[in-house]
A and B are shown apart, each in its own frame.
Chain A
Amino acid sequence: MKSGSTARTVANTTDANGGEMYASSSLEARARRLDPSLLKDLLENMLLIRRFEEKAAELYALGKIGGFCHLYIGQEAVGVGAISSLGPDDYILCSYRDHGQALARGMDPRVLMAELCGKVSGCSKGKGGSMHLFDKRLGFYGGHAIVGAHLPLAAGTAFASRYLKQPRVTVCFFGDAAVNIGSFHESLNLAQLWKLPVVFICENNEFGMGTPIEKTASILNLHERACAYNMAHAAVDGMDVLAVRESVAEAVERARNESLPTLIEARTYRYMGHSMSDPTHGIYRTKAELEEHRRRDPVKRFISALEAIGVVTQATVDEADRRIRDVVEQAVVFADQSPEPSPEELSTDVYLP
């Protein structure tokens, strides 16, 4: 295990200390063991998120999407890999950076785009927006916009599974900055103490908004915080979709079979700013640093691995990409053509009757 002081560089594929966890050969090796149709699904899911988010950035610039808009570009492997290991009844909770997970869970891109545009056909009727995506049928329990505040909620849905004796696992995504807030610690303690079937996934993209993790966390191997609660934990290359899938699947099984929680730290990187109002580089990171991380792009790496083992070709990838771009365009058309919420919506959904 790496020492805390080098955590910042573990994200590099070339890192000599990274070992097998970060080697692209392991991605190919894992891919060989999986069904080609699953591999193609995972790739298309990642591509969909990439293209969707690129379009969201355009719509934000056009003023069609308002408020805060936190994009998932660069982190696709985490959401896709993790969610691919879940069953249909499992619970998912996210922070405000939630578009990727919603798409990975199967939310209709049209419904998601409509929500971002504040339309009544959106998943939350246009009343939640980018940061508050919900879909009960998908087990998608939000989009929560106070850092760390949804970790107790995830302990709560996991508690409900245990209480109702249902084999439903909860997966909770949050950023690296959340590990320093009290709710993180209170939730981990309760989850281990009460043996709750929950997988906490820390997406360590190295920055809490514009502040690097070294300036905020006393232990840089963030997953080791689980030691304080006697909880199972692991670090995983968050730019390797199959490594994430494998790690999360193991944790999900632990949750489902033993009703025990896990903390997983997925080391990833976001290419965009913290939100759309934040520049991609120049203030808290250099262009060179960003470019260095782009070299281990999770989508490109996965394509290369799948090409190497003969599951895809450049031509089939291009074809899939064209199809996905069309799906995203259709989502924009749907959002554009969807009506605004009626004025009555202002005061509905405040109380249940």
Chain B
Amino acid sequence: MPVMQYREALNQAMREEMQRDERVFLLGEEVGAYNGAYKVSRGLLAEFGPQRVLDTPIAELGFTGLAVGAAMAGLRPIVEVMTFNFSILALDQVVNGAAKMLYMSGGQFGVPMVLRGPGGSAHQLAAQHSQSLEAWYCHVPGLKVVMPSTPADAKGLLKSAIRDDNPVVFIESEVLYGMKGEVPEGEYTIPLGVAEIKRPGKDVTVIAHSKMLHVALQAANELEAEGVDAEVIDPRTLRPLDTETLLQSVKKTNRAVIVEEGWSFCGVGAQIVDILQQQAFDYLDAPILRVTGADVPTPYNKTLEHMAFPDAQRVKQAVLRVLYKA
């Protein structure tokens, strides 16, 4: 199986879907001549031409709304936001437009579009460029929210997102773009709404998405030395959430830790806690713990920034606490 970077897997997914369906097109800042701010769209302009790979003005509201209208008229746009921080400028078109069009038109107008780009923190990008906004999008009925953590998932999930008839918010990770992994060639799709057990275990369930999956896996590997067998699950799609896979795991391990980079208050993990306590209450042997980003704007200073986000040590501590070993 070929080994490639996460960004290359995304590129392959877009290339294959654009070859497969002429209605699919890509627009966004720097996606064409510059080959993408993070080189995810490398070569697409050369292959598909300026009619299908469009460099836009810095006008997120305008070009995202244009994509919503184009989708209503039968096209299948992929909107690249340079980072999800800038998607806030387009939020009205996504929340008031894309997410609600089907409902308020009585089922007449679906909006098959993908809004994609990197989210989360990177390296000292400071407050306005380092945030995890997935909880905002997860809150809205009508949207699907996908966050791949590996190159293979990136390809399989993006292909499914592009084929989905609903608006899909597809949040990548700036720091995972260079990550390498095996990626199946050609037709390879992963259905939206299906979690994956990334590491089977029996003692505790650790739920983590996007780059926090790798923090959770590191913690799980270190815990093994301490005799703790953690099961690590990546929901991959946050909405719709694969609650069944999460519940089955928690019913087996009786303990759960949820890791996310985003803020704690009203975060994705809070929703998962709600589901688990409602549907697996009798199986729980300890309160569910969450490891999250600090409840502050992201600081620039390297040391402070490191303190603001979950790391393996903090995940380990939480796991040991739900096992009453710490």
Contacts and interface: CB of A to CB of B under 8 A. Distances in A.
Interface string B102-126: 1111111110100000000000000
Nearest to A181: B61
B108 A134 contact: yes
Nearest to A126: B106
Interface in A58-94: 91, 93
B99 to A, nearest CB: 9
B97 interface: yes
A156 B102 contact: no
B104 A350 contact: no
A183 interface: yes
Interface string A327-353: 000000000000000000000111111
B59 A186 contact: yes
A164 B72 CA distance: 13
Given A350-B142, A351-B166, A352-B166, A161 B59 contact: no
A123 B109 CA distance: 12
Interface residues of B, number: 41
A155 B62 contact: yes
A124 B104 contact: yes
B137 interface: no
A141 B72 contact: yes
B104 A128 contact: yes
B165 interface: yes
Interface residues of A, number: 46
A159 B66 contact: yes
A143 B166 CA distance: 20
B84 interface: no
B108 A136 contact: yes
Contact of B109 (A142, A164, A194, A351): A142
B93 A149 contact: yes
Q: Which of B51, B56, B65 has the most CB of A within 10 A?
A: B65
Given A146-B92, A149-B93, A350-B141, A163 B105 contact: no
Interface of A: 91, 93, 122-128, 132, 134-136, 141-144, 146, 149, 151-161, 163-164, 182-183, 186-187, 189-190, 193-194, 348-353
Interface of B: 25, 51, 54, 56-57, 59, 61-75, 92-93, 96-97, 101-110, 112, 141-142, 144, 165-166
Closest 6 CB pairs of A and B: A156-B69, A152-B65, A186-B62, A125-B106, A160-B73, A153-B69
